[in-house]
């Protein structure tokens, strides 16, 4: 039985990398049907609404979406549709794997996943200035919100993810030595939940600054990292750097009602329409989607085909080659069929 997926081509290079990804999924025989919907700049121009109701309804109905990057206008114009989607569907878990794909990488065989809490912490944006005398900006303050509900939900997600994806260890990253209430609560809940998984998933916790160094010195000691919003934002980019950067960074945004899979990179307006974008990150996002749908073998087959294709010289410009998006996609499909 095919799963219906909402497909959002997006802006800039979006349609190019989305089409490449659909070709790879079809070649792999993924049992998916796509419902194409628009959002972003493209939708704003066509319909006067960057997030049409029809698109929201489609995601609501299917519970799963694969999306290309969406352009956010700078200054005037609509606000980030990515943020709007995250809020609308309460996509509380941002899952960012960092897996070495390239030959001759900075680090061989890095293979870890960051599970970032996506709705709380300092990013709730409760902040304000306090004026003193004639200085309206004398002080600025910001409130960090950590709830038991939000912490349990994300930490449990990390453990369940570890079990479902055959990962051995969850490391909770925090700054509870300084932020004794907020991060203290996050850690306390982590320790409670870890007991339920004893014997099935290992657990440890680490302070964020020590983690940042350990990731660079010896990334192999990490498997699944679960952390709060801001630390997850920072560390997920750090680990993307360990495995070659944006070109290899997929992301999943998971909620109870819906999950949205995408590449971490943006719409790359500088190279849009030229047929030279690298579709690897979106193909990896599609693999995350397949894993989410429990098609683990299919996700692995595509990952292996990518790895073999990346060893060849038919790669896109950002990887030092001169292949077009289509030529590189052909090479991946050839490996898939090999």
**92 tagged catalytic:** no
Q: Report helix, strand or coil for 13.
A: coil
- The answer to whether residue 277 forms part of the interface with ligand NAI (CB under 6 A) is yes
Question: Got the DSSP string for 296-329?
Answer: HHHHHHHHHHHHHHHHSS--BGGGT--B-HHHHH
Q: How far apart are CA 287 and CA 300, in angstroms?
A: 8
The answer for residues whose C-beta is within 8 angstroms of residue 84's C-beta and 6 or more apart is 51
- The answer to whether residue 55 forms part of the interface with ligand NAI (CB under 6 A) is no
- The answer to whether residue 244 forms part of the interface with ligand NAI (CB under 6 A) is no
- Alpha carbon distance, N-terminus to C-terminus of the chain: 26
- The answer to whether residue 85 forms part of the interface with ligand NAI (CB under 6 A) is no
**123 tagged catalytic:** yes
Q: Of the two residues 40 and 219, which places its CB atom closer to ligand NAI in the complex?
A: 40
- The answer to whether residue 233 forms part of the interface with Mg ion (CB under 5 A) is yes
Q: How far apart are CA 213 and CA 219, in angstroms?
A: 9
Q: How far apart are CA 68 and CA 17, in angstroms?
A: 7
Q: Which of 11, 67, 123, 328 is catalytic?
A: 123
Query: Strand order in 111-117's β-sheet?
Result: 32-36, 3-8, 64-67, 259-263, 250-254, 93-99, 111-117, 224-227, 169-174, 202-207
**57 tagged catalytic:** no
- Interface residue with ligand NAI among 100, 211, 259, 267 (CB under 6 A) is 267
How near is the Cβ of 325 to ligand NAI at its closest, in Å? Answer: 8
Cα angle: 295, vertex 299, 304; to 5 degrees: 150
- The answer to whether residue 94 forms part of the interface with ligand NAI (CB under 6 A) is no
Size of the residue set binding Mg ion (CB under 5 A): 1
- The answer to whether residue 262 forms part of the interface with Mg ion (CB under 5 A) is no
- The answer to whether residue 228 forms part of the interface with Mg ion (CB under 5 A) is no
- Interface residue with ligand NAI among 6, 55, 58, 82 (CB under 6 A) is 82
- The answer to whether residue 117 forms part of the interface with Mg ion (CB under 5 A) is no
Residues that bind ligand NAI (CB under 6 A): 13, 17, 69-72, 82, 246-247, 262, 265-271, 277-278, 281, 318
Q: Which residues does the annotation mark as catalytic? A: 123, 175, 209, 233
């Amino acid at each position: 039985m095919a799963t219906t997926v909402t497909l959002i081509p997006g802006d800039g290079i979006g349609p190019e990398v989305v089409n490449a990804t659909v070709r790879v999924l079809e070649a792999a025989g993924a049992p998916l049907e796509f419902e194409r919907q628009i959002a972003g700049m493209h939708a704003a121009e066509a319909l006067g609404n960057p997030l049409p109701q029809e698109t929201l309804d489609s995601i609501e109905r299917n519970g799963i979406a694969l999306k290309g990057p969406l352009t956010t206008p700078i200054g005037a114009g609509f606000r980030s549709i990515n943020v709007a989607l995250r809020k609308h569907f309460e996509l509380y878990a941002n899952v960012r794997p960092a897996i070495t794909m390239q030959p001759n990488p900075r680090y061989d065989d890095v293979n870890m996943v960051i599970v970032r809490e996506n709705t709380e912490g300092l990013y709730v944006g409760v902040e304000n200035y306090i004026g003193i005398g004639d200085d309206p900006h004398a002080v600025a303050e910001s409130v960090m919100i950590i709830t038991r509900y939000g912490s349990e939900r994300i930490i449990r997600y990390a453990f369940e993810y570890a079990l479902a994806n055959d990962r051995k260890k969850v490391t909770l990253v925090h700054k509870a030595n300084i932020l004794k209430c907020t991060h203290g609560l996050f850690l306390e809940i982590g320790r409670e939940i870890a007991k339920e998984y004893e014997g099935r998933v290992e657990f440890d916790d680490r302070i964020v600054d020590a983690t940042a160094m350990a990731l660079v010195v010896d990334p192999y000691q990490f498997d699944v990292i679960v952390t709060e919003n801001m630390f997850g934002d920072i560390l997920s980019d750090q680990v993307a750097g360990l495995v070659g950067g944006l070109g290899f960074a997929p992301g999943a945004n998971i909620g109870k009602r819906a999950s949205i899979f995408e590449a971490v990179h943006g719409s790359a307006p500088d190279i849009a329409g030229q047929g030279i974008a690298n579709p690897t990150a979106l193909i990896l996002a599609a693999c995350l989607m397949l894993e989410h749908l429990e098609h683990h073998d299919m996700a692995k087959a595509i990952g292996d085909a990518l790895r073999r294709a990346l060893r060849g010289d038919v790669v896109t410009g950002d990887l030092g080659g001169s292949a077009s998006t289509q030529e590189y996609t052909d090479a991946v499909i050839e490996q898939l069929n090999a």
